[in-house]
């Protein structure tokens, strides 16, 4: 459900969170930025409605999953789609205005309450309770975020010419890029869900991906800060490239250290906390951890290109990488089964790393010319 929800969030946002981040990071007056933010939020309402309709269609015809329970529970889980999308749009605006601390303060308050809510509902209502708790936590976070920033969000605005045209360019390519990116991250789960008959083995594999997702939170948090940073420096190549080289080195060190530490601590955590019940997940975690490392080592290049407005190139890189991933996963599955899929994710991540490197260097050559 989490893997599918991540895809639907991209469709429902339709890139307007990214267009808000890009446009409002540029050199404009605060009133113009406020206007562009409101327009982007309004445009996203259409994509949210269409995405919700798509979810009902997929569930009704059992195209989302062949599991009756998953289909039924996902309708409840999907109630959190709209607040999750709106939360992301407001976050993008706060990022662009360098008010990320405001969002962090909301998370500090909302997360503990959300966790308690989810645990209580799950305890009494099982999987349905979990879905209800998740949806409620999204609504609570959105309401708190709006309440604490309502004066800022509802401030005065100044009209900007052709706001839809400005939003649509970035929104379209960011949607395509993010959609492919989300599929890339979860392509192994989607593939195994349809082609692996051993559901227990898939459960061990999926459990390992939860911890991989936790590692990805750090990368996403860094990119949230770097996007507006690179947008501001896009007009000055010297400052832009200096910033990139400085923070790319720091990013590499952080990711390598995280991989080393997690490779030791996560297996220990799995063994002692779960009494060895998920020992089979450890081997998958270690393999997928390598894939995560190579994939996220290339993420900063995409952020730097985003700052230059090169969203089309990011999309080309992602779609090319997806093709490689599919090939490696398919042949890996044919040769080694589920373990071949995990190995395929490593090879696919390596392709992402080198493709992004080639594209990034080509952009640098063009700029220097």
For residue 336, what pLDDT is reported? Answer: 94
Residues in the chain: 369
Q: Tell me: the pLDDT tens digits for 13-52?
A: 998 988 888 888 777 888 888 889 889 999 999 999 999 9
For residue 159, what pLDDT is reported? Answer: 84
Number of neighbouring beta carbons within 10 Å of residue 346: 20
For residue 264, what pLDDT is reported? Answer: 94
The band of 337, judged by pLDDT with boundaries at 50, 70 and 90, is: very high
Q: Tell me: the pLDDT tens digits for 130-147?
A: 999 999 999 999 999 888
Asked if residue 369 has pLDDT above 70, the reply is: no
Cβ–Cβ < 8 Å for 211, 285: yes
Asked if residue 357 has pLDDT above 90, the reply is: yes
For residue 360, what pLDDT is reported? Answer: 93
Q: Which token pair is 242? A: 């200096």
Cα end-to-end span (Å), the chain:
48
State the Cα–Cα distance between residues 74 and 132, nearest whole angstrom.
Answer: 10
Q: What angle do CA 140, 145, 151 make, to 5 degrees?
A: 140
SS3 154: coil
Q: Tell me: the pLDDT tens digits for 232-286?
A: 777 788 888 888 888 888 889 999 999 999 999 999 988 888 877 888 899 999 9
State the Cα–Cα distance between residues 232 and 222, nearest whole angstrom.
Answer: 16
For residue 348, what pLDDT is reported? Answer: 96
In this structure, what DSSP letter does residue 295 have?
Answer: H
For residue 114, what pLDDT is reported? Answer: 87
Q: What is the mean pLDDT of residues 320-342?
A: 95
Please say whether the dihedral angle defined by the alpha carbons of residues 168, 171, 175 and 177, taken in this order, is positive or negative: positive
Q: What angle do CA 244, 21, 160 make, to 5 degrees?
A: 125
Q: Tell me: the pLDDT tens digits for 163-187?
A: 888 888 788 888 888 888 888 888 9
Asked if residue 148 has pLDDT above 90, the reply is: no
For residue 349, what pLDDT is reported? Answer: 95
Asked if residue 199 has pLDDT above 90, the reply is: no
Which alpha helices (H) appear in the chain, and where do they start and end?
A: 2-13, 16-25, 30-60, 68-77, 81-96, 100-153, 163-195, 199-232, 237-273, 279-297, 299-307, 311-336, 338-368
Q: Report DSSP letters for 21-73, one per residue.
A: HHHHHSS--HHHHHHHHHHHHHHHHHHHHHHHHHHHHHHHTT-S-S-HHHHHH
Average pLDDT score over the chain: 87
The band of 227, judged by pLDDT with boundaries at 50, 70 and 90, is: low
- Percentage of the chain with pLDDT > 90? 37
Give Cα separations from 368 to 38, 237, 241, 364 (angstroms): 37, 9, 11, 6
For residue 224, what pLDDT is reported? Answer: 67
Q: Which token pair is 246? A: 């400085």
Cβ–Cβ < 8 Å for 205, 281: yes
Is the whole model's pTM more than 0.85, yes or no? Answer: no
Q: Which token pair is 91? A: 């976050």
């Amino acid at each position: 459900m989490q893997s599918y929800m991540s895809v639907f969030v991209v469709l429902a946002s339709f890139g307007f969170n990214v267009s808000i981040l890009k446009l409002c990071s540029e050199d404009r007056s605060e009133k113009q930025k406020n206007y562009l933010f409101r327009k982007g939020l309004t445009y996203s309402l259409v994509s949210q409605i269409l995405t919700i309709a798509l979810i009902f269609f997929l569930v009704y015809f059992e195209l989302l999953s062949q599991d009756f329970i998953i289909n039924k529970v996902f309708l409840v889980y999907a109630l959190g789609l709209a607040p999750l999308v709106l939360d992301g749009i407001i976050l993008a605006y706060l990022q662009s205005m360098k008010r990320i601390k405001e969002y962090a303060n909301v998370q500090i308050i909302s997360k503990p309450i959300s966790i308690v809510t989810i645990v209580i509902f799950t305890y009494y209502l099982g999987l349905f309770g979990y879905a209800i708790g998740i949806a409620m936590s999204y609504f609570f976070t959105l309401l708190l975020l709006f309440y604490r920033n309502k004066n800022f969000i509802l401030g005065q605005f100044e009209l900007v010419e052709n706001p839809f045209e400005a939003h649509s360019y970035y929104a379209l390519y960011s949607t395509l890029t993010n959609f492919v990116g989300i599929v890339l991250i979860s392509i192994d789960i989607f593939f195994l869900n349809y082609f692996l008959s051993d559901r227990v083995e898939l459960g061990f594999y999926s459990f390992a991906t939860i911890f991989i997702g936790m590692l990805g939170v750090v990368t996403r948090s860094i990119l949230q800060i770097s996007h507006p940073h690179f947008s501001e420096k896009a007009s000055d190549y010297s400052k832009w490239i200096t910033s990139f080289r400085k923070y790319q080195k720091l990013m590499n060190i952080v990711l390598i250290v995280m991989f080393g530490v997690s490779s030791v601590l996560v297996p220990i955590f799995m063994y002692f906390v779960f009494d060895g019940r998920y020992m089979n997940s450890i081997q998958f975690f270690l393999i997928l951890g390598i894939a995560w490392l190579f994939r996220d080592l290339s993420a900063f290049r995409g952020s730097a290109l985003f700052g230059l407005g090169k969203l089309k190139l990011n999309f080309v890189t992602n779609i090319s990488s997806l093709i490689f991933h599919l090939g490696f996963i398919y042949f890996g599955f044919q040769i080694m089964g589920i373990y071949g899929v995990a190995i395929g994710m490593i090879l696919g991540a390596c392709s992402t790393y080198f493709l992004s490197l080639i594209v990034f260097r080509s952009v640098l050559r063009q700029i220097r010319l």
